[in-house]
Structure 1
């Protein structure tokens, strides 16, 4: 990678206001920012540009998947540092994102400092403290709900059917746990 390529960042985010804000913040830090709203737009940008970094939202509008985007970007350039940013964090999607080529996985709200730190923290760390507290039933339920949501491309009706619960019950649970 040349020095110029190292500072090119591809931002795949369908929330235009958030993408503009985050993009400007990275531009102030010396990055050339390329914006895409979905996998197809990101793929099109790779024809003319060689980003060294990418920030990918996990949940994109329509049929576009952040995980599919991570896979496509990693296949295009295995050296690209890819951070997945999501308001729907779960262990399952974190594991899948890393398997598909992401170097880090961050839950929203995350800022430019957090993302830049994630780019710099690619190798694992043995100093991370392992919690002695077991995972609560509510946390396990929440992670399972999010795993099924991701499997169904965030279709609430289909998720409720697969979980064996009424759609309104699921909607209430999701409303209580609003993550942005």
Structure 2
């Protein structure tokens, strides 16, 4: 009796094996680690490019805000446009920082082993930029500025420019590392 129920199942299994092609079997396999690493590496690169853009927007908005705060001389209504632009740039930068940090975390063990200098630069950038964003947001929410506030804003601009150069260098180093490690159809 058991043979009678097993025989049709074996026949059905043989039919299914013949129906599943090699290509279908390949698609059912989990992605190879190199393919996953390549995808994660390119994802991080794309996030870094977005971060570079939002960093530029943030630095520009911060510079305009400081200039406006200096010229407003106690009239906060003159600063409304610059304040709005800066807060929008801060939000965009915060989102891009979080996105880059998540992508870096997914690639952390590999990049930390192969290029710890790049990993440390990116991690340090995220930490310092997050602090800079927090201070900038607090300063942007002020309605009047004392001389020390303006001095602090000027220092923030200098720090933002320096940090922008650091991330630019780290992005270029990462781009070169990824281009040397993987061959992409996508352009680097």
Shorter-chain TM-score category? under 0.3
From the two aligned structures, give the one with the greater strand fraction: 1
> Which structure is richer in relative contact order (CA contacts within 8 A, separation 6 or more)?
2
TM-score w.r.t. the length of structure 2 is 0.20
Give 1 or 2 for the bigger CA radius of gyration. Answer: 2
TM-score w.r.t. the length of structure 1 is 0.20
From the two aligned structures, give the one with the greater helix fraction: 2
